[in-house]
Amino acid sequence: MSTLHSPLPSVGAYVAYFTQRPLPVLRRTARELEALHREPEHAESRQLASIVQADPLMTMRLLTHLETHRRQSQNHDITTIERAVMMIGVEPFLRLFDALPTVEDALEEDPRALVGVLRVIARARRIAGLAREFAIMRHDLDVQEITVAASLHEATEIVCWIHAPALTEQVYALQTADRHLRSADAQRRVFGITANELQLGLVRAWRLPALLAQLLDDSQQNDPRVRTVSLAARLARHLAHGWDDPGLPDDLAELGTLLRIPRETLLRRLGAPEEALNRLATR
């Protein structure tokens, strides 16, 4: 698979480049769908939704398909995976998403990029899980919408690892060399744009539902649903470095305000080890 090795001149050029290339899914996702395709009588919409939700790439692929094949009679957006599967139907879904390309095959000759993208996908899953937990604690009216949006929060980095691994590795190298270098600054040095700028362009190109696009817009921090997703993303990134990450106290303070619960309660809900609980509960 050909990949991008040199920066492009604009956000639009990147969006055109990435959207013209196929979006693979995890090998596990492809195999699970192939198994159900052979025995569709055993498949259920909830089971398919669970498979899709476990894979941010498959989530992107499904939502993009729905919007590009939107019926004229459809007067509302589909913003959850189970509703999307029900709209298509179980057997049509299995026929439509049969024999999908996989990330593992696409990056077979670049094991470092494969490790990179799998790590980001794991982080996206954690973001979705945290956002879901926070949405439940906030008594959100539609927890599934928050979960879907959160699973897509890392979409840009996932796509960059797949289609521009050399440039993405350069961003990581800059931040490894300088721990104080902000992600946006490192991205601009290498790509000439930031991940957030690219994400907004891709969201428009993929024609994601307006509500999901709004939930992914980190600039709308006055919206508690947007803050639920963005704080889940921040917390997941900091927890990846361990419970002693210096960004955690600020994350916990903002989450306490958003969720209106005591710090110790929040830490216990997050499964903090005893040492971290004792240290962070009073900060």
| Cα 16 off chain centre by | 20
161: pLDDT strictly greater than 90: yes
Which residues, other chains included, contact 259 with Cβ-Cβ below 8 Å and sequence gap of 6+?
A: 134, 137, 138, 266
48: pLDDT strictly greater than 80: yes
- Can you tell me the distance from the alpha carbon of 52 to that of 62, in angstroms, rounded to the nearest whole number? 8
DSSP 3-state assignment of 98? coil
22: pLDDT strictly greater than 80: yes
What is the overall mean pLDDT for the chain?
A: 91
The Cβ-side half-sphere exposure at 187, using a 13 Å CA radius, reads: 16
Residue 73 confidence class, pLDDT cut points 50, 70, 90: low
Lowest mean pLDDT among 114-118, 151-155, 190-194, 209-213: 209-213
The pLDDT score that the predictor gives to residue 207 is: 85
The pLDDT score that the predictor gives to residue 209 is: 86
- Can you tell me the distance from the alpha carbon of 161 to that of 151, in angstroms, rounded to the nearest whole number? 16
Which residues on adjacent β-strands are paired with residue 25?
102
Count Cβ atoms below 10 Å from residue 139 Cβ, excluding itself: 7
Residue 129 tokens read as 């899980």
Instruction: Give the pLDDT mean for 268-280.
Output: 88
Could you tell me the pTM of the whole model? Answer: 0.92
Q: What's the pLDDT tens digit per position in 166-211?
A: 999 999 999 899 988 888 999 999 999 999 899 989 988 988 888 8
Residues 27/105, Cβ–Cβ less than 8 Å: yes
The pLDDT score that the predictor gives to residue 253 is: 93
Residues 7/167, Cβ–Cβ less than 8 Å: yes
Nearest to 25 by CA among 159, 150, 137: 159
Residue 16 tokens read as 């055109």
- Superfamily name with CATH number, domain 1-240: Hypothetical protein af1432 (1.10.3210.10)
The pLDDT score that the predictor gives to residue 26 is: 97
Q: At what angle do helices 143-151 and 81-88 cross, to 10 degrees?
A: 90
Residue 219 tokens read as 């600039």
125: pLDDT strictly greater than 60: yes
Which residues, other chains included, contact 137 with Cβ-Cβ below 8 Å and sequence gap of 6+?
A: 259, 261, 269
Instruction: Give the pLDDT mean for 22-26.
Output: 93
Nearest to 157 by CA among 123, 208, 126: 123
Residue 180 tokens read as 């104080």
74: pLDDT strictly greater than 70: no
